[in-house]
Structure 1
């Protein structure tokens, strides 16, 4: 509604005379699309150079793969072969001249705005995009045909010196950064369309062929483009290149560009990376060239590996038909079957299996194809691999085995398929050690139950979290913890980081979990881990409610532990007066020696916590006790500039002398 009001007011604001105003007011369309119809008709009725500029602007904004900077859009729109009419745009603000940016805004009649902060053009409202996409003249084919031709013109032609292009418009190389990354993306859209305008598609294909090839050899245009891509920041998976392009770290575009630009340069590289099957079909392929590996980052890739990894079924079919080695090793995923399986590309997987792909081939990040498919929850691919004899218990890869991979993702249907095929529920290996730990860390209670029903060892040790109980705790899944405890999980099992589950829960201040563990018999004074014991861990986190729970269960208030030596010194150093009082009430030794500050009084004095200092003094803390980093409490307070504490300590000393 707001957009309709805005557009209506804009239309009315152009009217100078009252009679015309009243007439127009009564004829305003009741729907926003009606207002857009009027504006779009006005643009088409211009029949001038400006009309072409407006239409191209709208087209570019529809198909651009990222926000175009103002100068990029101007270069894209103006640096084309448009013949201006001898007529002036007399209906466009009386033909007043302005900057190219203002011309765009004027010609597009409020359908487009210029973001002054980002310096980019964009549609004035999402409804503009929706409206234009419903118009027959803005087809996907037409949008990307314009963009493809314009991007390739950056390489194939020289900047125009035509006087009809405004002198203030940036030269065409301004668009080069965009063209470098996105010309193959736009062309892929065209290939995916049904061809109706045969002449237009032939023109584009000829332009692409001219860009990629000179006769049977690679053209210097393509070599120049590839060299430019390789000069950008890169690594083995294209994530650095993505950053340079302003894309998400894991975007596939960076990787595809890296492979397309790999040496020796060839049109086959870009066709396989982007799935340009129609283009590839028109060009001869030799077996030697097909199976030659090329280095991208630290890995060697064949064309088949790349096409399979991207799920380009038609390209894969062509390569296999031309004799590509289906079991060639290389790449991040080791082989084409694993690469296709990790993406869930079932049609590609079937093609590879039909051509004799080794279903149990080892190597790559996931170790084998079954683990790759399982980690993504691709049940159809998993079934295809199992039907072809995939080893359900094959070891290797990041998850150790397929069951652990599926369990970590919480894919209960895949887990069931693997269990039905005899997957070892207690198989060791991988990041999580076993399937139960993987499912527990992810909080996948249904999978946890399935594994427990298959007699998974609830106390199995190994993996990054040592055991399933600790994994569930670290993931914050108390409901899974309860399931494990009910199945006999050892509440006092030792681990590497926090020593045991109680210490970990105490450090995080998870009172509900602490109570659960205590109710199951957790040893409140168990030693080990980074914080030595649960009480010290809770103190370090400042969780007084947990401290109270532990003290209520008999936590040893004077046990030696950690950098601060004991709980009282740790609480005093942090100024936790409530915790200090709890510890004192439980009989904490106010003059216990040890730790970085020697004693609790020195710790509180160094931090300037006068209220804690007073509490300790009232309990008989020795103000002259020696030790620790500052030798005594008075010096610690003075070094920190805590005058009030110095005064309190001095008065206590004087009082004791008298």
Structure 2
């Protein structure tokens, strides 16, 4: 007997007015939780944690001799918490630090000076960070800068090498990564490591660090972090320096070689993909950045090709993605090529200095992939072949669809791009858009004449591509537009087998309802 699937969603948030209005407009039931409603829970939490800390569990300890002081700590924290469990945690962290002197009176004195609320608690932590030795203080500043301004969260290993990279490093051997424990200690409990990533302990940490607040003590480190342009300059220099240190002399010859290269040089992926982002969001380029760019662009074509080979891996560095996006870079790569491939194109000083009069090889492909509409239009006006295939057979339209740059897709189609041009690892533009789950682009391509049953590429056809990736709405759209549900070919044989391999019951059911021929595995999934 089938049982209807019912999903109930429970959402929690702060009482932000835009969130409140969104719920009220949709007549969604809400339950306000006031601070006094959780006071008993906070007191129970405080008592339980204090006992664990006194026993020294998990390596952190609260050294107090008096049971009366334990009771006083629990009552004081519960009274002043104002509904915030995080505040209690942070106060206990500080009391543990103070208690290392093994003097109850010191703990009692600290208990009498508890900061009110999270902002003042964060100020106290920053003040404590600034009291550290200079190298620990510098480590904390750099680490917090990466937490706030990185283009994406760094893995712990990436962060370790980012923090180890300085302008003083001359060779790769100069990189001396700090342990995660040292990094967390330097940042005074504002960060934590979970699932291989070091993150702020709470979203309010980042809010506090990047928002100027009146009435709070201004620490030097916070003033520095509020200067976003200076921080992005700092991070761009780290990226450019690391690229110089790893110094790949030529592109990898196959995707396994490239995968191994990235595994062995943990920060190479982020550095190659994001140096341009950090430069592009600075208010102006510093002389140091110009100097480092000059050093990069003076390198041989093969060196620059190795950087670009990593840059185009936009979806991550797992072996599957490296395989899909691998390019041998069998063309000349110049400084101008790099600019047409990155956000540097939008930096006037860079474009003026390093863009050549004649577009480099595959400039239109690279600009389309990077989402540079301001480069695409002039390149088309300059006569670049709109349907030219690159080394992997992809056209500019294919690359724009793969990266979901819909404005560029519109522009290329309006200018006469062949919507059914074959090539690229996915086979054609429709499959590239289907792989990425870009429904609006899939709809646009079909409206412009894309053939939904064209064969080719890794997955064989667009329907198998969307089925394997779990994009149910695109599967439905393709079937409604005439996609053959039993078409054979591709990595999994057909769309149903791709969905079955994935274990996607909804797509399997959809395909079966549309006439897909089932086999034993498909029937098992539907049970």
TMscore range, shorter length:
0.5 to 0.7
Per-residue Cα deviation, 1:612-647 (whole angstroms, up to 9, x for no partner): xxxxxxxxxxxxxxxxxxxxxxxxxxxxxxxxxxxx
* Residue 421 in structure 1 maps to residue 448 in structure 2: yes
Q: 1:353 to 1:42 in 2, by over 3 A?
A: same
Deviation at 1:131? 5.8
CA distance in 1, matches of 2:240, 2:409: 34
Pick from 367, 386, 391: which aligns with 2:394? 367
- Conservation of the 8 A alpha-carbon contact between 1:273 and 1:310: no
* Residue 391 in structure 1 maps to residue 409 in structure 2: no
What's the counterpart of residue 115 of structure 2? 29
- Conservation of the 8 A alpha-carbon contact between 1:4 and 1:31: no
Deviation at 1:511? 2.3
CA distance in 1, matches of 2:508, 2:290: 60
* Residue 6 in structure 1 maps to residue 93 in structure 2: yes
Deviation at 1:373? 1.7
| SS in structure 2 at match of 1:136 | helix
What's the counterpart of residue 464 of structure 2? 437
CA distance in 2, matches of 1:294, 1:428: 35
* Residue 242 in structure 1 maps to residue 324 in structure 2: no
Q: 1:319 to 1:352 in 2, by over 3 A?
A: farther
| SS in structure 1 at match of 2:385 | coil
1:328-407 mapped onto 2 (5 Å cutoff) = 328-329=360-361, 335-365=362-392, 367-407=394-434
CA distance in 2, matches of 1:398, 1:8: 58
| SS in structure 2 at match of 1:392 | coil
What's the counterpart of residue 451 of structure 1? 478
What's the counterpart of residue 62 of structure 1? 144
What's the counterpart of residue 502 of structure 1? 519
Deviation at 1:402? 1.4
CA distance in 2, matches of 1:23, 1:273: 45
CA distance in 2, matches of 1:360, 1:487: 35
Relative to the length of structure 2, the TM-score reads 0.54
Deviation at 1:371? 1.5
Per-residue Cα deviation, 1:548-593 (whole angstroms, up to 9, x for no partner): xxxxxxxxxxxxxxxxxxxxxxxxxxxxxxxxxxxxxxxxxxxxxx
1:134-153 mapped onto 2 (5 Å cutoff) = 135-138=222-225, 139-140=227-228
CA distance in 1, matches of 2:430, 2:191: 53
CA distance in 2, matches of 1:467, 1:231: 42
Per-residue Cα deviation, 1:372-397 (whole angstroms, up to 9, x for no partner): 22223332221121122111111222
Deviation at 1:474? 2.9
* Residue 305 in structure 1 maps to residue 337 in structure 2: yes
- Conservation of the 8 A alpha-carbon contact between 1:426 and 1:456: yes
* Residue 464 in structure 1 maps to residue 495 in structure 2: no
Deviation at 1:368? 0.5
CA distance in 2, matches of 1:315, 1:145: 14
Q: Which runs of 5+ in 1 are unaligned?
A: 78-100, 116-121, 152-178, 186-224, 257-269, 330-334, 492-500, 516-658
CA distance in 1, matches of 2:277, 2:382: 19
Q: 1:369 to 1:468 in 2, by over 3 A?
A: same
Deviation at 1:341? 2.3
1:211-226 mapped onto 2 (5 Å cutoff) = none
- Conservation of the 8 A alpha-carbon contact between 1:304 and 1:319: no
* Residue 183 in structure 1 maps to residue 241 in structure 2: yes
| SS in structure 2 at match of 1:312 | helix
Q: 1:415 to 1:25 in 2, by over 3 A?
A: closer
* Residue 111 in structure 1 maps to residue 188 in structure 2: yes
Per-residue Cα deviation, 1:109-162 (whole angstroms, up to 9, x for no partner): 9937999xxxxxx999678777665621443455577788xx8xxxxxxxxxxx
- Conservation of the 8 A alpha-carbon contact between 2:339 and 2:355: no
1:58-207 mapped onto 2 (5 Å cutoff) = 58-63=140-145, 66-68=158-160, 111=188, 135-138=222-225, 139-140=227-228, 183=241
Q: 1 or 2, which has the higher helix percentage?
A: 2
What's the counterpart of residue 542 of structure 1? none
- Alpha carbon RMSD of aligned pairs, Å? 5.1
| SS in structure 1 at match of 2:367 | helix
What's the counterpart of residue 229 of structure 1? 247
What's the counterpart of residue 494 of structure 1? none
What's the counterpart of residue 314 of structure 1? 346
CA distance in 1, matches of 2:417, 2:403: 17
Q: 1:2 to 1:235 in 2, by over 3 A?
A: farther
Q: 1:404 to 1:230 in 2, by over 3 A?
A: closer
Based on CA coordinates, which of the two structures has the bigger radius of gyration? 1
CA distance in 1, matches of 2:485, 2:186: 68
Q: 1:324 to 1:374 in 2, by over 3 A?
A: same
Relative to the length of structure 1, the TM-score reads 0.45
Between 130-139 and 414-423, the greater mean CA deviation after superposition = 130-139
1:256-655 mapped onto 2 (5 Å cutoff) = 278=285, 294=302, 296=305, 298-299=328-329, 300=331, 301-314=333-346, 318=351, 322-326=355-359, 328-329=360-361, 335-365=362-392, 367-489=394-516, 491=517, 501-505=518-522, 511-513=524-526
CA distance in 1, matches of 2:266, 2:273: 14
- Conservation of the 8 A alpha-carbon contact between 1:399 and 1:432: yes
CA distance in 2, matches of 1:184, 1:457: 49
CA distance in 1, matches of 2:496, 2:199: 53
CA distance in 2, matches of 1:346, 1:504: 46
Aligned length, in residue pairs = 367
